[in-house]
Amino acid sequence: MQDGHRPVVAVVDDDAAVRDSLKFLLEIAGYDVAIFASACAFLQTGAGQPPDCLLVDQHMPNLTGLELLRRLRDAGRSLPVALMTGSPSAELTRQALELGVTAVLEKPVADDVLFRFLDRSAT
């Protein structure tokens, strides 16, 4: 967080408790946090400050985390992404890496794992 810049982390998760807890944790750590209840809600917010990185849940209604990432990549948007999932698999990890995901994080995400991703991605 150099020059007073507070990195912006976007959290996309359909679980309100997850969104709220991540928002609280990240704000205490000095990040600005934008929360979205769905991939569609994130895609509809084209205006505003683009995030420095994205934390996105894989299992959401309408659009999954990987589908969101595909749409972002197809639109030419590149940013560090951590895909969060309660059910990681080798196939999911393979697909995520093919789309340029920086990390696949197993839910519940351990604070130290989350901050390692953010230290590499959001500064």
* Per-run averaged pLDDT (10 residues), the chain, 123 residues: 77 97 97 96 80 96 96 92 96 96 96 96 80
Q: Specify the pLDDT at position 46.
A: 65
Q: Is the pTM of this model over 0.85?
A: yes
What is residue 1's predicted lDDT score, i.e. its pLDDT? 46
Phi and psi based region of residue 54 (left: phi greater than 0; alpha: psi -120 to 50; beta: remaining) = beta
Range of the domain at 80: 2-121
Structural domains of the chain, count: 1
DSSP string, 83-113: EEESS--HHHHHHHHHTT-SEEEESSPPHHH
User: The domain that contains 26 carries what CATH number?
Assistant: 3.40.50.2300
